[in-house]
A and B are shown apart, each in its own frame.
Chain A
Amino acid sequence: MLGIVGWLKEKADDIKDKVVDCYDAAKDKIADCYDTVKDKFVDGVDAVKEHSTNMWNGITGKNLMEQAEAVWDRVEKHKIKINKCKTEIEKLGRVIDTKISNINYLKNEIYRNHFMKFKSLADRLHNLNIHGQSFNEFFDESIVTFAYLTSVKDKSDCFKIDFDNLSFSEKFFGFLSLGYMTRKAARESLEEVKKTELSLAHDVAKIKEHLAKVGKTVEAISQIEEYFSFITTNYVKLLGRFEYGVRTQTYKRIIENHVNVSGKINFKEIPVVHIEEFHAIFNLSIVLKKMASLGYLSESGEMLVHDIAEYENLKDMVSKSELIAA
């Protein structure tokens, strides 16, 4: 144990002192180097600069940086356009959301309200069952959000060298390498900026495309809303006509003491016009049922099953004592 350890320890002690000196010396050396070179070369750099700016720009690559600046202006413009489109798309998204909610409401009304009424009226003439599903649509926000944006770079990420504020080591390296290093940095900056500009231009085109689609979709959904609204309004009106007809026929039979065992009116014995109305409402119901089962934006939503069966309605009618007329 003693041999090697002792020997190493001795040497280590020797080195220790030298190292402390070395270390300090190293620090000083760097500082000296810094200063000497600074003095010698910075003057040289400035001198060349004075005499020939163009050549200086060419050597150092400053001309490339000037190109890069011009391209960067376009980058900024793209960023603005993209933000505008984003805001617009969000706004339209909210509009669609409202409309979808409204359509959902109208769909539900069809079953809760209109079909129930139809059933209760139709039952006077004939048994009627309505089975269906209304599609309660969820507004899927991903439909309208734009997913492809390039992450936006800062100017400093792209511009790897600032010729107006060259650090000392940049000048130092630059001069010693005959401009190699600064040209390289300048070229890389230009390349980086060009890439950014092209990516953003691509993004602008894509987001504008998306905006166009969302815009037209809003119009189409408005149309759907109008379809629902119009058809249900007229359905209700038609029901009113039909109801009036059915009631009249019911009273007529009561007066004539013509009450049927089943409680129903024989459809062959009533005026055609009422059957026509019945027919029309029957068909319109099919149309509405179909419309209520569809999604108009995406597959996102849930189906609500409706089953308007006979006996329940009968129960209803009994409780409302409509069967037994005054």
Chain B
Amino acid sequence: MKLSELVSKIGGRILTHANKATEVDIQRIYAGDTISEILNAASNTTLLVTNMSHNLLPRIAQLMDVPAICLVNGAVPGSDTLTLAEQRGTILVISPVDLFETCGRLYLCFDGSFKPSP
């Protein structure tokens, strides 16, 4: 799914490189809070979702060719993180709700194949 479409579906907004979002194709989503796991999960068609919001994220995204990172709780990251993301070409997405809700929304828009047992 196109990133721009995904973001608008979950009610998020794009903070950096919004013009690129219409060309980025997301085929996979991974949510995690440790660097080692997001390194392993990263790919050029993966959207990373995380509780973290520090200024190491843009460099990691550039290193692993991750097109976009989704931050949660509606919290806009610090200006250093924003600047680094601009410089390194990383699309930063902000979701207005918490991690659980964000993942839930993404899942419904993206996959939705899981049905809870009756």
Note whether A and B form a binding pair. no
